[in-house]
Homo-oligomer: A and B are copies of this chain.
Amino acid sequence: MNHPIYNFSAGPAVLPHSVLEQVQADLVNWQGSGMSVMEMSHRGPEFMGIMAEAEQDLRDLLAIPVNYKVLFLQGGATLQFAMVPLNLLRGKTKASYVQTGVWSKKAISEARRFCTVEIAASNEDRHGSYVPAQSTWQVSPDTAYVHIAGNETIGGVEYDFVPELGDIPLVSDASSHILSKPMDVSRFGLIYAGAQKNVGPAGLTLVIVREDLLGHAPAHTPTMLDYAIQAKDDSMHNTPPTFAIYVAGLVFKWLKALGGLEKMAEINARKAQRLYDLIDSSGFYRNPVEVRNRSRMNVPFTLPDPALDEAFLKGAKAHGLLQLKGHRSVGGMRASIYNAMPEAGVAALADYMAAFARSHS
């Protein structure tokens, strides 16, 4: 029996099929230019056009205000863990972090190289299964910024609110939920995202930053890690990751053609609901996250007995359902259902999960 393949990897992750087909068609000779996009000078008119369109389409999708810069950088979210304190401390010595899982912990650990970290709130009291309500946060008035991880890829925990912090800049690691729903950019000082989940190939990092926060990096900051320099040079202080920017640009166009982020959010809500409904009604699978904070992007779940995991994964693979093994720190399974995962893929997974539960209950 031949199944279509559905890839539930947490990242790098599935890309829209039509985008891949266009990349393939234009791979050797982009639009009759005689060159692959990989071969184009980043300062030539062809690539400058590709990059300008990518930025404009991203601005359109997220309705990014004019006083925000869009940067196309390298190094992944992990490099942002250092760049955020280097650039945003602005002479202060303290920054606040909300701890909600593995990725916010990594951000905290890196920030400690550069400043005193104040943990504004943590969900460790209930095994990382929720986002602490803002009313419980402790934020010192002299903190430089507050950092959150908008969606925890491993725990499957997502914010259901945007914190309101007055004049204190809010910074979000949006790697695993950017472009999955509309976002009011004006409520953030800085948003960053590794591309390899909802945007494009690994090796590209998006940064959206309010202009007044730029220009405060200390003198020993490596040039490439200074947002102000990258902003001044329009992300071309040196050669940017051109091919990844090109693919991301096609993903942005795919989102616009689909109807934009409102429409994408509707589809994503439907996909997630289908899996959580099945999990909750199964009496077999289990997801430990509070309902209001369940991630629409990463759905972790366990089977009643870890001894069943191998059979579940083997059967899934036979049904064309790939990369469902949970992160080693959590165990069980994880279905990552980013923008590019079609509803048919979620339906196929739900059908398989239901059948597996019936035959193993």
Closest B residue to A195 using CB positions? B239
**Alpha-carbon gap, A223 to B112, bound state (A):** 11
**Alpha-carbon gap, A242 to B243, bound state (A):** 12
Instruction: Give the one of A223, A224, A244 with max B CB within 10 A.
Output: A224
Q: A320 contacts B244, CB within 8 Å?
A: no
Q: A222 contacts B113, CB within 8 Å?
A: yes
Q: Give residues of chain A (172-191) contacting chain B, Cβ–Cβ below 8 Å.
A: none
Q: Give residues of chain A (1-42) contacting chain B, Cβ–Cβ below 8 Å.
A: 5, 7, 9-15, 17, 20-21, 23-24, 27-28, 33-36, 38-42
Instruction: Give the one of A79, A222, A238 with max B CB within 10 A.
Output: A222
Q: A79 contacts B224, CB within 8 Å?
A: yes
Q: A241 contacts B203, CB within 8 Å?
A: yes
Q: A24 contacts B21, CB within 8 Å?
A: no
Q: Give residues of chain A (152-201) contacting chain B, Cβ–Cβ below 8 Å.
A: 194, 196, 200-201
**Alpha-carbon gap, A225 to B244, bound state (A):** 22
Q: A27 contacts B34, CB within 8 Å?
A: no
Question: Which of A69-77, A257-265, A269-277, A291-299 lies at the binding interface?
Answer: A69-77
Instruction: Give the one of A33, A241, A244 with max B CB within 10 A.
Output: A241
Given contact pairs A34-B322, A82-B224, a sample of 13 additional A-B residue pairs in the complex whose CB atoms are under 8 Å apart: A5-B35, A7-B39, A9-B44, A14-B39, A23-B27, A34-B320, A35-B322, A42-B202, A74-B79, A76-B238, A194-B238, A202-B241, A222-B222
Measured CB to CB, the residues of A under 8 A from B are: 5, 7, 9-15, 17, 20-21, 23-24, 27-28, 33-36, 38-42, 44, 74-79, 81-83, 86, 110, 113-114, 194, 196, 200-204, 219-225, 237-244, 247, 320, 322-323
13 A-B pairs (CB sep. < 8 Å): A5-B33, A15-B38, A15-B39, A24-B24, A74-B76, A74-B241, A76-B224, A78-B237, A81-B223, A86-B222, A113-B223, A194-B238, A203-B241
